[in-house]
A and B are shown apart, each in its own frame.
Chain A
Amino acid sequence: MGAFVFGIVVLTFLVVEVLAQIEEIRSASEDNVEWNINQLEIETLKLQLAVGDYLAAGSENTDDLKLRFDIYYSRIGIISGGHMADLIVRNGYVENLAKIRAFAEETAVIIDGPTEQLVQFLPDLAGQLPEQRKAARVISLGLLSNMAVKTDSQRAKLGYLLGATAITTVLMFIVLGASLAVIIRLYFQSIARKLEVDFTVARLDATINATKDAVLVLGHDNCILEAGGAFETLFKDRKTKVRGKPLQSILVDRGMKNIVLNQTSETTQAISEKRRTATLKGIGRRQDGTRFPVEYSFQSVIVNQTNCIVMFITDVAEQVQDKSNLVEARNKAQAAAQEKSRFIGIISHEMRTPLNGVLGSLEVIEAEKLSNKQIRFLGVAKRSSTRLLGLVEKVLSVSQLESRKTILKPTTFCVNKFLEKLKDDYQFEAANSKNKMEISTSNTTNLQVFGDTEILGHIVGNLLSNALKFTDQGSIKISANIEESSRQPGALFLVISVKDNGCGISSENLDKIFEDFVSIPGVGGKTISGTGLGLGIAQRLADFAGGWIDVESTLNLGSVFTLHFPVGSRRFTCLDTEEISASSGHEQPENAPLNILVAEDDEISRTIFEEQIRTLGHTPQMVVDGVQCVQSAVKTCFDAILMDFSMPNMDGLEAARRIRASGASKNTPIIGISANRTDDIRTKTRDSGINFLLSKPVSKNALQEALLTISELAGSDGTEPILDKTVIADVLDVLGVEKSRQQARQFIATTDQFFAELDRYDWSDSATEFATSSHKTAGRAALMGARKLAEVLSELEDRAVGNAELPVSEVEIQKAQYLWLITKRLLECEYGLQKPAVHI
């Protein structure tokens, strides 16, 4: 713009100059000076000639001469006048001009004078004229060159001016052109923009029209300003008709109440932001009175400075129906599943009890002195029964695992011992298939770990059994190792691998083998006996325990099955069985016989339990139902109570509850015996205060394990005392007896609360909460002298905090709970709240 104005100014100036120049040239302000000077020379010559003629001819007539002189004189007059004289003077010929003029004047006098004088003068005149002529010529030539220069410069100046004008004009044109280009571009831009806007509007229109939601625009007072989208389809009404009507005429919330939308844009914004992910449910009302469920969302907008609300309404009638259908179907399925569980529970109970009887009896007989024949057939009977039990259990455990009825019952065990026992168990089968078994362990496996041996035994046993089945005259290598988990620091895995050089598994079958009821035929097409469930169960069990099974195999070369089984993080070095028996008092039941109360309604089972307990070196006290159990327990403080769940008059759970409520055996560990393994058994068990759960049929080993654990934690001396007696002494000292007891009672109450709450949490969600409360409880425990408990809880807290994704395992929690029970009892003793009931 500025350039343009500047250009105009310059141009105007130039044009003015040019025009002036043109004007100057156009109206010639000078006569042709050169012509006049030339003429002067000529007329001087002509005069000269005239004089010469006159002198030569001797004529009388001087008229012609005078005329010639007049002409000559007038020429001088012309060049002496005005511009011409100026020009001559300017170019430096003033002297010459003066000379010529002077001569002319002088001569004029003579010419005008008497004729005789003139005639006399003529020769003189003739002599002077050449000189005059020369003077004239000098001026003429000088002027010629000067004039040339001037004309040229004039031309140049004009040329320059014209050039400048032309350039300025061109530049102006360029500027104009550029402006024009800009305008054109703006024009096209605006066209493009308009197209864009049109397109956007069209798209928006299409979007609104394509949606299957009804779109409403609401003004103040919740009045409907506009309706669009699928409004007409949903509400079966013309959208024009609904304008101006209040919102509640077509939409209310689920309680049939009006929906209030706050009109302030910020509040509405805030509300709609918060609600954005939540679906708002309401009820749509049609003109004909019918109603249908809807979901709606809204957003406030500002249109022309007024607050409006845009609302989308979706018809969810179909979804609601679908959902209720699904819920119904699910409920039916759940009911069916529950029915199935119940059926299984009944069956398992029914089947186990007689099997318990058979096995138990056989065990009892085994202890007697027998003849060789009897021993042999006893072995047969025992093996058959065991096998039967095994088969039944396998089938049932599948469904139990499916319905998550299994409970982990971890105990402390020695890995090497476990493996040795396993090998012994399968010695017979190995001999049958002409295979060799060998165990390889490293030093690290000469340890005690904490885990569920039953489940572990199931899995490894299955792997071993498979290996033996599919290997002919080969060798099976069992190796075990303890590894730290990379995912869960501090957690240990017992890694057991079973390697055989049997027929191997082809790669396409590798996945199939874990499927239920799948058996891959062995070498030579020989059919392998078995249900085909083994690996499936094994995998489920491993998974349940928190581990997994890997398999590697090469056809015709063999297979390696590797089990990773999580075990508790306590480590002890295994001592030899004899050493264990001799040294640590709490390992050896013989040194510390426990008084065990046994409640079992079934006579056979009762007999068997009695026998088992006696064999283990403890003292059983038998009762037949819950009532008696409670009576006895209340009166006497037992070391342990063995409680069958299903009993007449009062079942095990109820009895346990009563025992825990009050009485001498209030804090006695209770081992529950159940034929069922339903999911809610766990909760019920805890709620009623039962600490251990064994399932029928109860083998001697299982019982021994449970009792061992109890004994282990029952002793308050050993390598890791449960209480720190010095701390307790300090507390008593500082606070005094009364206050200490008060503190102790409070501690017990809060810690009871802590453990009760443990049940309710799903630890994967609340790891941090668990960590916090565990931390608190651990602190208090340390203050009260419950050192072991504090340690265990701290460790659990660390685990929960360290890796918040992974829950603290079931195993750890059960352990902690049992520890608490013992600790509680001991604290009560120390602080004098309760008489001690354990003989150390």
Chain B
Amino acid sequence: MKMTTANVTFSVGLWIGLAFGAMAEKLPVPNTNPILTVSGAVSNTNVKNNSVFDYELLRSLPVTSIETGSIWYDGTAIFEGVSLVDFLAEIGAEGSVLEVTALNEYTIEIPVSDAVIDGPILAYLMNGEQMPVRGKGPLWIIYPYDQNIRYRSEVYYARSIWQVSRINIRD
């Protein structure tokens, strides 16, 4: 995972902000087509108790990148996105489980404890390009497989959900 100084500072700032109970910046309503809707135990909502994101909005969040190989393609690829930990902080998630659903109705549960630094990211760029639906886009939860052997297991492969469209946070 590439850690730029800016990212670090921002993440830390966010965490500190969160730790002191300071609310994150209020989430703006997206302008373009929403690609991700987060429901459930979220506090930073923008549309009807949900946190709705479009592409731009997601891109405005702190960026984390992972370079890794995986079982779905040969060689390695660079993924850029927002780390789950940042994301959850942004939306003010207060649950323990993320129910993540894909466009094809595939649903998986990811525990909030997975959201750690050097953990999974919600990737929207693969090798610098947006991912079409046919290419497992628009969003793919990617774990740093190469960096951590723990993530190279069935469970985590199952959690590496692509074509992410909805997240529901619950206890």
Contacts and interface: CB of A to CB of B under 8 A. Distances in A.
7 contacts: A28-B71, A28-B153, A70-B132, A70-B133, A77-B134, A81-B74, A82-B73
A29 B103 contact: no
A28 B72 contact: no
B72 A70 contact: no
A28 B153 CA distance: 5
Interface of A: 26-32, 39, 43, 46, 67, 70-71, 73-75, 77-78, 81-83, 108
Contacts of A67: 103, 133
A441 to B, nearest CB: 134
A27 B153 contact: yes
B101 interface: no
A45 to B, nearest CB: 11
Given A71-B104, A74-B163, A26 B153 contact: yes
B155 to A, nearest CB: 9
B142 to A, nearest CB: 14
A28 B154 contact: yes
A46 B103 CA distance: 12
A28 B72 CA distance: 12
A26 B163 CA distance: 27
Contact of A30 (B71, B73, B104, B163): B71
Given A27-B149, A27-B153, A31-B157, A71 B71 contact: no
Contacts of B72: 31, 78, 81-82
Given A67-B133, A70-B132, 12 more contacts: A26-B153, A27-B149, A30-B71, A31-B71, A70-B134, A71-B104, A71-B163, A74-B133, A74-B135, A78-B136, A81-B73, A83-B71
B135 A77 contact: yes
A27 B132 contact: no
Nearest to A30: B71
Contacts of B104: 39, 43, 46, 71, 75
Contacts of B133: 67, 70-71, 74
A83 B152 CA distance: 15
B157 A28 contact: yes
A77 B162 CA distance: 13
Closest 5 CB pairs of A and B: A70-B133, A27-B152, A73-B134, A71-B104, A70-B134
Contacts of A78: 72, 136
Range, interface on chain B: 10 to 19
Interface in B139-158: 149, 152-154, 157
A51 to B, nearest CB: 16
Nearest to B155: A28
Nearest to B151: A27
A77 B136 CA distance: 9
Contacts of A43: 104
A614 to B, nearest CB: 156
Interface of B: 71-74, 103-104, 106, 132-136, 149, 152-154, 157, 162-163
Given A29-B71, A81-B72, A82-B72, A74 B134 contact: yes
Contacts of B149: 27
Contacts of B106: 39
Q: Determine which residue in B73, B104, B162 has the highest number of CB atoms from chain A within 10 A of its CB, and name it.
A: B104
A306 B71 CA distance: 86
A43 B103 CA distance: 11
Nearest to A75: B104
B32 to A, nearest CB: 15
A87 to B, nearest CB: 11
Contact of B103 (A27, A32, A71): A71
A260 B163 CA distance: 118
Contacts of A39: 104, 106
A713 to B, nearest CB: 137
A464 to B, nearest CB: 135
Given A27-B153, A71-B163, A74-B163, A82 B71 contact: yes
A821 to B, nearest CB: 135
A67 B35 CA distance: 13
Nearest to A32: B154
Nearest to A76: B134
A78 B106 CA distance: 15
B152 A28 contact: yes
A444 to B, nearest CB: 128
A694 B134 CA distance: 163
B5 to A, nearest CB: 33
A32 to B, nearest CB: 7
Nearest to B153: A28
Q: Determine which residue in A26, A29, A31, A46 has the highest number of CB atoms from chain B within 10 A of its CB, and name it.
A: A31
Nearest to B145: A27
Contacts of A70: 103, 132-134
A108 B132 CA distance: 13
Nearest to B165: A67
Nearest to B75: A82
A31 B70 CA distance: 10
Q: Determine which residue in A26, A46, A67, A70 has the highest number of CB atoms from chain B within 10 A of its CB, and name it.
A: A70
A27 B72 CA distance: 14
A82 B74 contact: yes
Contacts of A28: 71, 152-154, 157
Contacts of A30: 71
Q: Determine which residue in B73, B134, B153, B157 has the highest number of CB atoms from chain A within 10 A of its CB, and name it.
A: B134
Contacts of A31: 71-72, 157
Contacts of B132: 70
Q: Determine which residue in B136, B149, B153 has the highest number of CB atoms from chain A within 10 A of its CB, and name it.
A: B136
Contacts of B74: 81-82
Nearest to B104: A71
A64 to B, nearest CB: 11
Nearest to A28: B154
Nearest to B135: A74
A74 B126 CA distance: 15
A82 B74 CA distance: 6
A145 to B, nearest CB: 21
B166 to A, nearest CB: 14
A167 to B, nearest CB: 30
B105 to A, nearest CB: 9
B156 to A, nearest CB: 9
A524 to B, nearest CB: 136
Nearest to B133: A70
Nearest to A42: B104
Contacts of B154: 28, 32
Nearest to A69: B134
Nearest to A82: B74
Nearest to A36: B72
